[in-house]
Every structure is written in C-alpha cells, then in structure tokens.
Amino acid sequence: MVVLKVLLYIVEVAVCLLLGLIVMLQKPKEGGLGGAFGGGALEASLGADAGNILIKATAILGAIFLANTLVLARLTSTSTSIGATGDVPAESAPAAETVPVDATPVAPAAPAQ
C-alpha cells in the first residue's frame, strides 16, 4: 500500500508541473508566456490547431489531477467511520461507568461548626 501511495504522489507532482507548464504556454489575448517563444514557434511546431491541443491537454491533465487527488485522499484518510446503523465501533465507544450492585448510599458528613 505504501508503494501505491508513493507512486500516486509522484504522479500528482508530475501532473501539477505539466499542468502549470501547459497553462503558461497557452497564448492569452495579452501575449503571456506563450509569446516568449518567438511568437509563432508553438504554431509552427504543433500546427494551426495548437490552441485546441493545449486546451484538450489541460482538460485531460485536470481530470487526471482530480481523480488522483480523490484517490490519494481516500487512501490517506485515517478517520473512524460510523456504521450504516449509526453505531459507533466498539473500540472507539467510551467505556460505561459501572456501579457495584451491593453499594449502599453514604450519608454526607456533618458540616463542621
């Protein structure tokens, strides 16, 4: 189980870095980082459809990030759950105080004067 968690953490970091890079490469109306690569270098390497490719890659990486985060959250959660009937599991239920059967009430001591 530990190996799976480590693998999912590595995937999480890789997807985060790729997602950040792809978002910065997209060419906004103001220019942004996409214009820093020679203006049309991205269109020359990916063709005229470069914007659509980056948008699809962003959506796919976003979906992978969301699914991976949900799986990691489920695997690393440590809270105790309450059953379907609302019963608390026996190991987490507080111990009930027991009163001995033969106990007789004790009269309070007389106040000191």
Residue 4, in any domain of the structure: yes
Number of domains in the chain: 1
- In angstroms, the CA 25 to CA 32 distance is 8
CA distance between the termini of the chain: 70
Residue 105, in any domain of the structure: no
Residue 19, in any domain of the structure: yes
Name the nearest CA neighbour of 54 among 42, 44, 65: 42
Residue 5, in any domain of the structure: yes
Both tokens assigned to 97: 């105080």
pTM summary value: 0.54
Rounded to the nearest 5°, which phi and psi values hold at 29?
-65, -30
Residue 20, in any domain of the structure: yes
Residue 34, in any domain of the structure: no
pLDDT in 10s for each residue of the chain, 113 residues: 899 999 999 999 999 999 999 988 877 655 555 555 555 655 666 666 666 788 899 999 999 999 999 999 999 987 655 555 555 555 555 566 666 666 676 777 777 76
Domain of 52 in residue numbering reads as 1-26+45-76
Residue 2, in any domain of the structure: yes
